[in-house]
C-alpha cells in the first residue's frame, strides 16, 4: 500500500465524492460537462454487471460508496466495499444509510493487497483503482482469486492533454498516478489469468478502458 495515496484520498474524501453530486444545478452542470468519463464508466460498469439480482459483489477501492450502493439498489444481495481511507468509508456508510442500503452493504477498512478475504464473490470490481497500482498484474490476479464470475476494472488511458495535466495535479498532491495503453491492459489481463476478456473504450474526457473479464 502506498501511504501517499491513502493520505491523499482520506484527506480529499469529500472533494472526490463531490464529483458524483447531482443536487445543486451549477455543480450538476459542471460535472456533466467536464466529468463525462465518470458517468460513462459508471453506466458501462452496470451495463456489464447485470443481471445483479441475488448476487454478491466485492467493490475494491469503494471510496464513498457510490458504486456499492448502486449495486445494492439494483438487486445485489450483498455488497462488500473495501477501502484504506477511513474518510471515504465514513461517507460510504452515510450514503448507504441515506439510501436504505445499509443492510446489504458492508464497508471494510483495509488494504486489499494484504487483506485476508476468505470469501469469493459473483462480481469483483475495481473502479478508478488501477490509476494508483504499481503492481497491476498481482492486483488483478488477486481480484480473479476472489471471483467466481465476472471481474470489472477501469484503467485510465494515455492522452496528449489530460494525462500530463492530471499527472501535474496529482504531483502537487504527492500522489502517484499511472496510465495505460490498450495492449498493456490486455497483457495484464492475460498474465492475471482471466479466461475471457473484453476491453470497452471510454470515449469521454480523454481516453480510458473498462475491462470486463470472466474467470
Instruction: Give yes or no for a contact between 206 and 163, defined as CB atoms under 8 angstroms apart.
Output: yes
Q: Which of 81, 153, 133, 82 is nearest to 111 (CA)?
A: 82
* Residue 171 confidence (pLDDT) above 60: no
C-alpha to C-alpha distances, 179 to 30, 140, 208, nearest whole angstrom? 24, 16, 9
The mean-pLDDT minimum among 49-53, 72-76, 82-86, 111-115 falls in 111-115
Q: What is the CA radius of gyration of the chain?
A: 16
Position 116 confidence tier, pLDDT thresholds 50, 70, 90? confident
Q: What sign does the CA torsion over 44, 47, 53, 58 have?
A: negative
- On average, the pLDDT of the chain sits at 85
Instruction: Give yes or no for a contact between 81 and 92, defined as CB atoms under 8 angstroms apart.
Output: yes
Q: Tens digit of pLDDT for each residue in 140-164?
A: 999 999 999 999 999 998 876 666 5
C-alpha to C-alpha distances, 198 to 48, 68, 108, nearest whole angstrom? 10, 22, 29
Question: What's the pTM value of the predicted model, to 2 decimals?
Answer: 0.84
* Class of domain 3-19+26-214 (CATH, top level): alpha beta
Q: What integer pLDDT is reported at residue 192 of this predicted model?
A: 97
- Which runs of E-coded beta strand occur in 10-103? 56-60, 78-83
Q: Tens digit of pLDDT for each residue in 66-88?
A: 999 999 999 999 999 999 899 99
Q: Could you tell me the residue ranges of all domains in the chain?
A: 3-19+26-214
Q: What integer pLDDT is reported at residue 104 of this predicted model?
A: 98
Q: What integer pLDDT is reported at residue 34 of this predicted model?
A: 47
Amino acid at each position: 500500500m502506498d501511504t501517499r495515496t491513502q493520505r491523499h484520498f482520506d484527506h480529499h474524501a469529500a472533494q472526490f465524492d463531490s464529483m458524483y453530486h447531482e443536487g445543486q444545478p451549477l455543480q450538476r452542470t459542471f460535472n456533466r460537462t467536464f466529468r463525462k468519463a465518470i458517468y460513462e464508466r459508471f453506466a458501462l460498469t452496470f451495463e456489464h454487471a447485470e443481471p445483479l439480482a441475488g448476487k454478491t459483489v466485492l467493490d475494491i477501492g469503494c471510496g464513498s460508496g457510490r458504486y456499492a450502493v448502486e449495486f445494492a439498489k439494483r438487486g445485489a444481495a450483498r455488497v462488500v466495499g473495501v477501502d484504506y481511507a477511513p474518510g471515504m468509508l465514513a461517507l460510504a456508510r452515510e450514503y448507504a444509510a441515506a439510501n436504505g442500503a445499509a443492510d446489504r452493504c458492508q464497508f471494510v477498512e483495509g488494504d486489499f493487497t494484504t487483506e485476508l478475504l476468505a470469501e469469493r464473490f459473483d462480481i469483483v470490481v475495481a473502479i478508478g483503482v488501477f490509476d494508483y497500482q504499481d503492481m497491476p498484474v498481482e492486483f488483478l490476479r488477486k481480484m480473479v482469486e476472489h471471483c467466481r464470475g465476472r471481474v470489472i476494472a477501469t484503467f485510465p488511458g494515455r492522452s496528449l492533454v489530460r494525462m500530463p495535466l492530471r499527472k501535474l495535479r496529482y504531483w502537487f498532491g504527492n500522489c502517484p498516478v499511472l496510465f495505460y495503453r490498450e495492449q498493456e491492459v490486455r497483457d495484464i489481463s492475460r498474465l492475471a489469468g482471466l479466461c475471457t476478456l473484453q476491453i470497452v473504450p471510454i470515449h469521454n474526457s480523454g481516453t480510458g478502458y473498462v475491462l470486463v473479464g470472466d474467470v
